[in-house]
Amino acid sequence: DQQVKQNSPSLSVQEGRISILNCDYTNSMFDYFLWYKKYPAEGPTFLISISSIKDKNEDGRFTVFLNKSAKHLSLHIVPSQPGDSAVYFCAIKNSNSGYALNFGKGTSLLVTP
């Protein structure tokens, strides 16, 4: 039973364009949302997060949008760079229930020159 879904296994974007990665969740009790980036043979590295009291958080080229009514989260990268090519995982938690981060299966982003 997948509580966190990333329905696009892969995405290809041209350098300089916007990359939009999407994530849907089913549990309305989730209240903290993170994006991690993972290169091959490395562990995930934290990218950006947002709490349920906000609907947008921006950090440089990265912006996360949260639509609680739709239970939808998205990560925008603009402009995209070849070094952004990696697997992106959304990770979500319910701060009032346990300590687990619930990860999606990931979206593999390829930014082409």
Partner 1 sequence: NAGVMQNPRHLVRRRGQEARLRCSPMKGHSHVYWYRQLPEEGLKFMVYLQKENIIDESGMPKERFSAEFPKEGPSILRIQQVVRGDSAAYFCASSPGDTREKLFFGSGTQLSVL
Structure tokens at 28: 């309305």
- Residues numbered 4-23 forming contacts with partner 1, rule: CB under 8 A: 4, 6
Q: Which residue stretch of 13-21, 43-51, 67-75, 78-86 sits at the interface with partner 1 (rule: CB under 8 A)? A: 43-51
Which 69-98 residues touch partner 1, going by CB under 8 A?
A: 89, 91, 95, 98
CB of 13 to partner 1, least distance (A): 22
Q: What is the DSSP string of 34-66?
A: EEEEE-TTS--EEEEEEETT-SEEEETTEEEEE
- Residue 49 touches partner 1, criterion: CB under 8 A: yes
Please tell me the distance from the alpha carbon of residue 89 to that of residue 102, in angstroms, as a whole number. Answer: 10
* Closer to partner 1 by Cβ: residue 17 or 72: 72
Measured CA to CA, the distance from residue 1 to residue 85 in angstroms comes to: 29
In the complex with partner 1, which residue's Cβ is closer, 36 or 65? 36
